[in-house]
Amino acid sequence: MQREHLVLWVSATLDCIEQATRAYHAGADAPWLALMSSSLREQAYVRHLAITFGFEAPLEGAFAYTRGLDDVIPVRKRVRAGLIAQDLLALGVSPAELSHLPQCPAIAPFVEVSDALGWMYLIERATLLHDGVRRSVAQRLPRAAHATSYLCAAGSVAGVRWQSFGAALDAVTDEAPIADRIADAAKQAFRYWLEWVDWNDHGPLARNG
């Protein structure tokens, strides 16, 4: 699989985290892979963007207020929740509806940079799927092809972006306990993401599925 090749080639730290979180990968990837289905409907795309916005917007806020994180990796270059909002507006979601979308309440600024990097791993890993999802949306939902700015943010440079993330991780993991802490934080991030998706599957966004 291309993703695993990238992990092994780029960074020993990424490989470590990949192994530690492997049990969560299929569940985390499933909502993205569903957008590549031949039966994809626009409502499902809108719904998943809304779910992702509700997770990434507060997470980006937590990154912004995590002391020292920007010294390790340029946080602003990886901010994309605003692009999700832009896509949702282009798909007919009103500003009022956007402002009332549910947001994951349990995300707060991180005490340790290593914890923030573990959560960032979840978000960065997903970008490796985004170009395939973008092409699927453009092919199956021509009317939504103009609303893929979030998916385009990584696009064809997802591998380079992933490589630079791995380099940042390697720069701070000169001791095994730090790598272990990043991996533990990544596991927590995966659990929160899966719980967030599940809650929305049975909650206020379920009607848009």
pLDDT of residue 142: 94
pLDDT band at 7 (very low <50, low <70, confident <90, very high): very low
pLDDT in tens, 36-64: 999 999 999 999 999 999 999 999 999 99
Percent of the chain with pLDDT over 90: 72
pLDDT band at 206 (very low <50, low <70, confident <90, very high): low
| Least confident segment among 3-12, 34-43, 146-155 | 3-12
Confidence check: pLDDT of 99 > 80: yes
Share of the chain above pLDDT 70, in %: 89
pLDDT at 155 over 50: yes
Q: Is it the case that residue 209 has pLDDT exceeding 60? A: no
pLDDT of residue 174: 73
Q: What's the pLDDT score for residue 157?
A: 67
pLDDT digits (tens, 9 = 90+) for 62-72: 999 999 999 99
**Does residue 197 carry a pLDDT above 50?**
yes
- Stated pTM of the model: 0.89
Say how far apart CA 23 and CA 3 lie, in whole Å: 15
SS3 content of the chain, % helix, strand, coil (to 5): 75, 0, 25
Residue 33 has pLDDT above 90, yes or no: yes
**C-alpha distances in Å from residue 47, one per residue of 50, 108, 136, 160:** 5, 24, 16, 29
Residue 111 per-residue DSSP state: S
pLDDT given at position 204: 60
Q: DSSP letter string over 144-185?
A: GTTS-HHHHTTGGGHHHHHHHHHHHHHHH-SSHHHHHHHHHH
Q: In whole angstroms, what is the distance from residue 77 CA to residue 55 CA?
A: 18
